[in-house]
Amino acid sequence: DQQVKQNSPSLSVQEGRISILNCDYTNSMFDYFLWYKKYPAEGPTFLISISSIKDKNEDGRFTVFLNKSAKHLSLHIVPSQPGDSAVYFCAAPGGGADGLTFGKGTHLIIQP
Amino acid sequence: DSGVTQTPKHLITATGQRVTLRCSPRSGDLSVYWYQQSLDQGLQFLIQYYNGEERAKGNILERFSAQQFPDLHSELNLSSLELGDSALYFCASSVTTGYLYNEQFFGPGTRLTVL
């Protein structure tokens, strides 16, 4: 049973435009969410997080929005840059203590 | 560079064999986590150690075991290997326990191929 779902395996966006990556979760006990970014041949790198007491968290070009009633979160990247091309994972603690439960990832491709 | 190192980078072995994957956490980090990334299952949490003690188990098979040594490096042992164990194995470390403001830093992974 997949508790964190990323339904878009890939997303293509033009450079300079907004990238919106989506994530849904099923476990209402989740109270903290993270986004990780992964380049080929590297491990995932933490990008941004949000606690369930907030509905928005911003860090530079990256903003995460949380809609608890819909059990949905999204990551907005504005403006998108070529270096943003990577796989993005949505995650939540809940795999057992501090272990993270990850979605399957969305491959973001920024086109020039 | 996250500061987490994993060896070896690649490992090719045969079914039924046993292998050991090694992880050195970032300096000062007391928690170590192991994750498995396979094509069909995505990234799955296997096990966590904190300061030498097992703290939490995720989807870890009984054929797999891990330990964390006094110098805080960790090893993941995989035995009676099957074709389905072929995957990328990531180690991550963090300063302490708990998930709030306790970012996990991931190593580059070990790619295991079982033939």
User: What does the pLDDT look like over B101-110, one tens digit per residue?
Assistant: 788 999 999 9
The pairs formed by B14-19 with CB atoms below 8 angstroms and a separation of 24 or more are B14/B81, B14/B114, B14/B115, B15/B81, B15/B82, B15/B83, B15/B114, B15/B115, B16/B80, B16/B81, B17/B81, B17/B114, B18/B77, B18/B78, B18/B79, B18/B80, B18/B81, B19/B77, B19/B78, B19/B81, B19/B112
SS3 content of chain A, % helix, strand, coil (to 5): 5, 55, 45
Whether the per-residue pLDDT at A95 is higher than 70: the answer is no
Q: B83 or A2: whose pLDDT is higher?
A: B83
Contact between chains at A44 and B106 (C-beta distance less than 8 A): yes
Q: CB distance from A45 to chain B under 8 Å?
A: yes
Q: CB distance from B40 to chain A under 8 Å?
A: no
Look at residue A96 in the predicted model and tell me its pLDDT.
Answer: 58
* Tens of pLDDT, residues B42-100: 899 999 999 999 999 998 999 999 999 999 999 999 999 999 999 999 999 999 888 77
Contact between chains at A102 and B2 (C-beta distance less than 8 A): no
Chain B residues in contact with A35 by the CB 8 A cut-off are none
Contact between chains at A103 and B42 (C-beta distance less than 8 A): yes
